[in-house]
Structure 1
Amino acid sequence: MSRAFRPRVGHSAVFEAMVTGWSRQQRSRQLGERTVTSRERLIRRFQGFCESYPWEWTPGDVEDFTVSLTSGQGRLALSTIRGYHLTLRMFCDYVTDSRYEWPTQCHDRFGQVPSQVCNEWNTVAHLNDYEGRRQRRPLTYRELESLFDWLDDRVDRIARSGRKGALAGLRDATMLKTTYAFGLRRNELARLDVADLRPNPHMRGWGSYGSVHVRYGKAATGSLPRRRTVLAVPEFDWAVDGLKPWVEEALPLYEASGHPALWLTERRTRVKVRQIDDLFATVRTKIGLDEHLSLHCLRHSYVTHLIEHGYPERFVTEQVGHTCASTTAIYTSVSNDFKNKTVQAALARVYQADEKER
């Protein structure tokens, strides 16, 4: 039977076939089931919002959809909206690709063809290049000192009282110090094993605690988690001093020699991300920090302070596992003291040179 005489199926059936085909393509790329399912759900949500089908969608539909997401009390974060835009863009790339014949099928059946409705003028990437949020701002040196002092004091208080919990308190203090000293994300921290502690070839004296091998770094879309090795730096060598007694003296007290995790609970299970979040929230409240600050601010602090210590941007980018230096730049927010010292040094350099020339 020729194409001209084939029975015409309904609009909804073609749409379902498109979504099914796109899902199959993603699974062929070995994407996770949850990722595929959430993307399917968004495409159906967008279709329901537009009350039309992909071959009828226009850039205006994307703009109306975005406005609906950024209005009212349920306003979504910019990073979430960017993810939505990316999903819509990928779906449109699929249905407009001639290799899948959807343009031909839609033209023959409906007299219209799908088009790419996401462009540089109606997506978040163009509207806002910087997403700095106050809950992720870097902490000042004084705030960090207060945070770590409170954690250390808690261990001493528990130990003096004779109550249980001193070991867990030491674990908590070491965890948050490690988060800052190596610029780790929450999941990267929670998934660390003892075997991930490695030597630093530039500093043999640190033994097996001179670097951290991250096996569960943030994955790019459609790829496996990225791995990297974070070297300890001399400005944060106190973290090495904390990890060594934790691993060699405290961790064996859990009597869980068969468990690979670096951070264990009293039940000899791996500490979960939610527990780390709750820990930071508790300390934040105790020392009077802004309630909007999150654990991720320690990672921002790490980037900012490395820059202030004079480390090259490329080195910092490699340390934190960013693909682009522009991402690292978003994290960077040097302190006023650093800015003042930099300006003073520049003034001295320029005007001293002028005086010598005279």
Structure 2
Amino acid sequence: MVGIPGSAGLVLVAGVAHLNEESAVFEAMLTGWGRQQRSRLLGEKTISDRVRLVRRFTEFAESYPWSWGPGDVEDFTVSLASGDGRRSPSTIRGYHLGLRMFCDYLTDARYEWPRQCRDRFGSVPSQVCHEWNTVAHLNEYEGRPARRPLTYAELQDLFDHLDAQVERAASSGRKGALSALRDAQVFKTAYAFGLRRNELCRLDVADLRPNPHVPRWGTYGSVHVRYGKAVRGGTPRRRTVLAVPEFDWAIEGMRQWVEQARPLFGVPGHPALWVTERLSRVSLRHFDARFAAVRNQAGLDPVLSLHCLRHSYVTHLVEFGYPERFVQEQVGHAYASTTAIYASVSNDFKDKTLKAALARVYAPTDEEDQG
């Protein structure tokens, strides 16, 4: 038992008297849980977020895990779902899942915490999360209903506004011309390759690869994503996103950025694709703030976010007629149902599809033509 990662015997020293025994045991529990999760090769951020959640719940309940009850979870949920800072159902469900996993760890006899708590405090931890006091996963999608793809007209307005900003900055000789060009290419790349925000931010120059099907695109025919969304707290998933001919206009812009504009920042040894005047990688916060500013300046719907460009990519690939499996691989979804959630084809596309079907099914016969 003692040799199992996360067991009490590895984090509690026998025979040591603690000034605050309850606090010391609780800290040992968190340390042990962290070790157990690392043995499963979970990411450090996932582990730290879960530990932070347990600390937060402990402060809310004003008691330690061996004294928790289901009512504490219910009160915690009410606090999360109330007030101006209320959380979404998916976020609350994630909190419930984290607490459930921590309690599963504590109540597993292999880790010896039930015995330690019984001997020290006269009570043992229990599973306080059950089907009647936690959020059930009933819907495939619980994101904001307002989140949607951009229409073709909105995309055109967005990119026209970005290009106009670059031209104005360049013609006026202002210092921000390079940054404006970079930001324009950032958003075009997000759309043309369907990238998530973090995937976009973490791109390096070395991640730009050739597309074996189109040699004339050179090293700009595909993007190798190394920081894709992890599954259940695992390591980031990798994939290669191929450029498609409908978005080949983004390739020339990428070539201009990498070969002409980026060197002017004076960062020859920096790996990041998107760099700042301070010789650092551009942050996610900058991407979000810049997109919001450009969106508002262009007069677009305020509910649109940077992530909506990814929704647009999926939707437009579907409208272009790409197979479902190809779209799923391009965006790195484990399940086709997830890709389907992203797709929201336009009314024009629906009209054309319906007209084609009507013409195919109700095409006049030769006799009708003669009549």
Q: Shorter chain as normaliser: what TM range? A: 0.7 to 0.9
Whole-Å Cα distance in 2 between the matches of residues 131 and 237 of structure 1?
33
Give the one of 294, 318, 342 matched to 1:307. Answer: 318
Percent of residue pairs bearing the same amino acid type: 70
Match for residue 264 of structure 2?
Answer: 253
Give the one of 164, 177, 184 matched to 1:153. Answer: 164
Assess, with a 3 A threshold, how the Cα gap between structure 1 residues 258 and 16 changes in structure 2: closer, same or farther. closer
Structure 1 position 89 matched with structure 2 position 127? no
Assess, with a 3 A threshold, how the Cα gap between structure 1 residues 289 and 106 changes in structure 2: closer, same or farther. same
Counterpart contact for 2:149–2:315, Cα < 8 Å? yes
Counterpart contact for 1:104–1:113, Cα < 8 Å? no
Structure 1 position 170 matched with structure 2 position 176? no
Match for residue 68 of structure 1?
Answer: 79
Whole-Å Cα distance in 1 between the matches of residues 347 and 67 of structure 2?
53
Larger deviation: 152-161 or 56-65?
Answer: 56-65
SS of 1:215's equivalent? strand
SS of 2:217's equivalent? helix
Match for residue 196 of structure 1?
Answer: 207
Whole-Å Cα distance in 2 between the matches of residues 185 and 305 of structure 1?
16
Gaps of 5+ in 1: 1-5
Match for residue 300 of structure 2?
Answer: 289
| Cα root mean square deviation, aligned | 3.1
Match for residue 100 of structure 1?
Answer: 111
Whole-Å Cα distance in 2 between the matches of residues 123 and 341 of structure 1?
45
Deviation at 1:14, TM superposition (A): 5.5
Whole-Å Cα distance in 1 between the matches of residues 30 and 319 of structure 2?
49
Give the one of 192, 196, 205 matched to 1:181. Answer: 192
Matched residue count: 351
Structure 1 position 345 matched with structure 2 position 348? no
Deviation at 1:237, TM superposition (A): 1.0
Give the one of 17, 20, 30 matched to 1:19. Answer: 30
Whole-Å Cα distance in 1 between the matches of residues 54 and 189 of structure 2?
40
TM-score normalised over the length of structure 2: 0.83
Counterpart contact for 2:190–2:310, Cα < 8 Å? yes
Whole-Å Cα distance in 2 between the matches of residues 257 and 107 of structure 1?
61
Alignment-mate amino acid for residue 175 of structure 1: V
Structure 1 position 115 matched with structure 2 position 127? yes
Alignment-mate amino acid for residue 319 of structure 1: Q
Summarize the alignment of residues 43-58 of structure 1 with structure 2, pairs less than 5 Å apart. Answer: 43-50=54-61, 54=65, 57=68
Give per-residue Cα distances to partners, 1:84-103, cap 9 Å, x unaligned: 12211211221232322345
Deviation at 1:317, TM superposition (A): 1.8
Assess, with a 3 A threshold, how the Cα gap between structure 1 residues 145 and 219 changes in structure 2: closer, same or farther. same
Deviation at 1:306, TM superposition (A): 1.3
Alignment-mate amino acid for residue 19 of structure 1: L
Larger deviation: 200-209 or 76-85?
Answer: 76-85
Match for residue 217 of structure 1?
Answer: 228
Whole-Å Cα distance in 2 between the matches of residues 12 and 357 of structure 1?
90
Whole-Å Cα distance in 2 between the matches of residues 123 and 344 of structure 1?
47
- Bigger proportion of residues as helix: 1
Larger deviation: 311-320 or 108-117?
Answer: 108-117
Give per-residue Cα distances to partners, 1:118-154, cap 9 Å, x unaligned: 43x6544524432231563211110000000011111
Whole-Å Cα distance in 1 between the matches of residues 53 and 171 of structure 2?
54
Alignment-mate amino acid for residue 224 of structure 1: T
Larger deviation: 151-160 or 55-64?
Answer: 55-64
Assess, with a 3 A threshold, how the Cα gap between structure 1 residues 87 and 97 changes in structure 2: closer, same or farther. same
Summarize the alignment of residues 265-276 of structure 1 with structure 2, pairs less than 5 Å apart. Answer: 265-276=276-287
TM-score normalised over the length of structure 1: 0.86
Larger deviation: 177-186 or 304-313?
Answer: 304-313
Alignment-mate amino acid for residue 223 of structure 1: G
Give per-residue Cα distances to partners, 1:4-38, cap 9 Å, x unaligned: xx9xx987766554334213322444545554343
